Chain A
Amino acid sequence: MLNGPILRLGLRSLFGRARVWLMVALPVIMLLLSAVVKGTSSGGDDASSAEAFLRVFGVGIVVPVVALVATTTLINSEFDDGSIIYLLTKPISRLSIIASKAIVVFGAGVVFAALPMLLAGLVMAGGSHDVAVAALLGGAVSTLAYVGIFTALATTMKRSIIGCLLFWLLWESTISSLLSPVKWLSARAWGNAVIQHVAAAGDGKPAVPLTYAVVGALVAFAVGIALAGQRLASMTISEE
């Protein structure tokens, strides 16, 4: 299913560009801010404010931006400048091309979003109430869902970078805060729900059940890759 050379190429094109700094900068900002929050908090309920910070900043901003940057670098820009045909002409299943790329993106999301969230959780709350572990799991779940959605959008839309961006800003950030049923179909709500279920701190009620969030993210990932693979398989190289 996965293809070694594609994975290697993906890693190289991800880390060989200036954009990697945007991916590095955000987790660094998050860690700095978590240190500031820790330093300025006047005792009180550390775990609960840490949990809220990780949900708003970690799942709300860091996870989607890292997933967006990685997806656009690996998938969108290759479609937009046409260099994807050099991969498509190789005797590799097109589904496995897109699956390998999506796995690299997911790995980048875990390294640059979920792991820093674990660190930020440790900085702010220490080991109390499993906040740090919850942050890692929530970050990973919502990264999984975002990667699936962005991959599907990247291969089916024209001007796909702006499409992905507007999906994040309109659907995940604006509409989901206005209309509550959207939580059943929102990568952000799933990540938040995982954090709220695993961490024993904070007073918010999780929006969706834990199993639903995890299964939903897995389904979003698989369906996104399947859609993208379908789209790629039906692509013809020749000009009409």
Chain B
Amino acid sequence: MTTPAGRGVIHDIGFRPFTGKRQGTGAIAWSLYLTSLRHCFGLGRSGKSKVMPWLIAAVLLVPALVLAGLLLQLNKMSLSSQADLFGPLANYFGFPYWTQLLITVFAAAQAPVLFARDLRYRTIVLYFARPLSRTAYVLMRLAALTTALFAVIAIPLTIWYAAALSTKVDHSEHTKNYLAAIVGVAILAIVLATFSGMVSAITTRSGLAVTAVIVALMLTSGVVTSVQGAAYDSHHRGLGLTAALFNPFTVVAEFVSGAFHQPTPSASMPHPGTGWTIGYAVAIACWAFGSAYLLIRRTRKAASL
């Protein structure tokens, strides 16, 4: 036992100490991000948990491939039927809007994996035994879920766009709409990730969290859609615009259509003016930052033993 003088050692039973380079907080955060991203797709988890994410990712490809096929057929069509098809085909943000059920199920199935289980089984204290702050932990988890959601939506969109570029349709309009939709998808992924993460951190039971996220998103979506339908019938624009605030999909769709001069994904959704667009930007910030704040507060509370 050779203990250097001047170093307080309680026990030295002769094990070799770690003398390698210790990595900093950044490396810990990056590795947490990568692990979380892998877990979103079931990589490194059981075979059963790979089914849901890959199934949804595959099903989301179907409408995009069909639309890409339609675009490739456009070259052979008469001009009048091109005009009929052109409107919906050029509106890229309609894709996440019309597949919102699948996207919701993806978020609802994966958010509890990242946010509920560690709180439930108190394994979260193990993460905080490393020099990683509570906020950084939450932000890395959120970044991973956002990346997963973005990838699942944006890859089909990009395939669709690539198909459009290889045809004789108006490339500049497609590029403009595609970029607008990609910005919208990024915003949507952030809002969905924070919201579903917040719900799963509050419920902590995995099954309950899945149900709660699906109910919260689809119920508000159904309510908003039917209110907008009623407002459209009675020509009451303000009611339809106000209703859109209460669901992530509609609020982002309205923001994209207002900020980038896009058509709205559904005929009953009114097109917002400048004032409303700013209002929607504020509402999106409320959805994202409000949820993130609650999520961080919940995680801090759970981690303070």
Nearest-neighbour CB distance to chain A for B121, whole angstroms, equals 18
Q: Contacts A161-B207, A165-B211 given: A37-B222 contact, CB under 8 Å? A: no
Asked whether B32 is an interface residue with its Cβ less than 8 Å from the other chain, the reply is: no
Q: Mostly helix, strand, loop or mixed at chain B's interface?
A: helix
Question: Nearest CB to that of B218 among chain A residues?
Answer: A169
Contact A162 B211, beta carbon cutoff 8 Å: yes
Question: Nearest CB to that of B236 among chain A residues?
Answer: A40
Stretch of A50-58, A190-198, A214-222 lying at the B interface: A50-58
Give chain A interface residues in 27-77, CB to chain B under 8 Å: 29, 33, 36-37, 40-42, 44, 49, 52-53, 56-57, 60-61, 65
Question: Nearest CB to that of A57 among chain B residues?
Answer: B226
Q: Give the chain A neighbours of B101 by CB distance below 8 A.
A: 169-170, 173-174
Give chain A interface residues in 162-198, CB to chain B under 8 Å: 162, 165-166, 169-170, 173-174
Contact with A along B201-230 (1 / 0, CB 8 A): 000000100110011001100110111011
Contact A61 B229, beta carbon cutoff 8 Å: no
- A49–B218 Cα gap in the complex (Å)? 23
Nearest-neighbour CB distance to chain B for A59, whole angstroms, equals 11
Question: Nearest CB to that of A170 among chain B residues?
Answer: B101
Q: Give the chain B neighbours of A174 by CB distance below 8 A.
A: 101
Q: Give the chain B neighbours of A29 by CB distance below 8 A.
A: 223
Asked whether A231 is an interface residue with its Cβ less than 8 Å from the other chain, the reply is: no
Give chain A interface residues in 77-99, CB to chain B under 8 Å: 80
Contact partner, B233, options A49, A159, A166, A170, Cβ 8 Å: A49
Contact A53 B211, beta carbon cutoff 8 Å: no
- A41–B239 Cα gap in the complex (Å)? 11
Asked whether B231 is an interface residue with its Cβ less than 8 Å from the other chain, the reply is: yes
Contact with A along B101-136 (1 / 0, CB 8 A): 100010000000000000000000000000000000
- A40–B233 Cα gap in the complex (Å)? 10
Contact partner, A53, options B215, B222, B226, Cβ 8 Å: B226
Contact A36 B226, beta carbon cutoff 8 Å: no
- Number of chain B residues whose Cβ lies closer than 8 Å to a Cβ of chain A: 22
Contact A40 B234, beta carbon cutoff 8 Å: yes
Q: Give the chain B neighbours of A169 by CB distance below 8 A.
A: 101, 214, 218
Contact A57 B207, beta carbon cutoff 8 Å: no
Q: Give the chain A neighbours of B211 by CB distance below 8 A.
A: 161-162, 165
Q: Give the chain A neighbours of B300 by CB distance below 8 A.
A: none
Q: Specify which of B223, B226, B227 lies most central, judged by the most chain A CB atoms within 10 Å of its CB.
A: B226
Contact A61 B219, beta carbon cutoff 8 Å: yes
Contact B223 A159, beta carbon cutoff 8 Å: no
Q: Contacts A165-B211, A165-B214, A170-B101 given: A33-B222 contact, CB under 8 Å? A: no
Nearest-neighbour CB distance to chain A for B45, whole angstroms, equals 17
Nearest-neighbour CB distance to chain A for B256, whole angstroms, equals 23
Q: Give the chain A neighbours of B230 by CB distance below 8 A.
A: 33, 37, 49, 52-53
Nearest-neighbour CB distance to chain A for B185, whole angstroms, equals 21
- A165–B230 Cα gap in the complex (Å)? 25
Contact partner, B234, options A33, A49, A60, Cβ 8 Å: A49
Contact with A along B226-256 (1 / 0, CB 8 A): 1101110111100100000000000000000
Q: Give the chain A neighbours of B239 by CB distance below 8 A.
A: 36, 40
Q: Give the chain B neighbours of A42 by CB distance below 8 A.
A: 234-235
Q: Give the chain A neighbours of B231 by CB distance below 8 A.
A: 40
Question: Nearest CB to that of A26 among chain B residues?
Answer: B219
Nearest-neighbour CB distance to chain A for B278, whole angstroms, equals 24
Contact A61 B222, beta carbon cutoff 8 Å: yes
Q: Contacts A165-B211, A169-B218 given: A61-B234 contact, CB under 8 Å? A: no
- A171–B223 Cα gap in the complex (Å)? 18
Q: Give the chain A neighbours of B219 by CB distance below 8 A.
A: 61, 65
- A61–B225 Cα gap in the complex (Å)? 11
Nearest-neighbour CB distance to chain A for B95, whole angstroms, equals 16
Please name 11 further chain A to chain B contacts, defined as beta carbons within 8 Å, in addition to the given A57-B226, A162-B207, sorted by A numbering: A40-B234, A49-B230, A52-B230, A53-B229, A56-B225, A56-B226, A57-B222, A65-B219, A159-B207, A161-B207, A162-B210
User: Which B residues have a C-beta under 8 Å from some C-beta of A?
Assistant: 101, 105, 207, 210-211, 214-215, 218-219, 222-223, 225-227, 229-231, 233-236, 239
Pairs A–B under 8 Å by Cβ, sample size 12: A33-B227, A37-B230, A41-B236, A42-B234, A53-B230, A56-B226, A57-B222, A61-B223, A162-B211, A162-B214, A165-B214, A169-B214
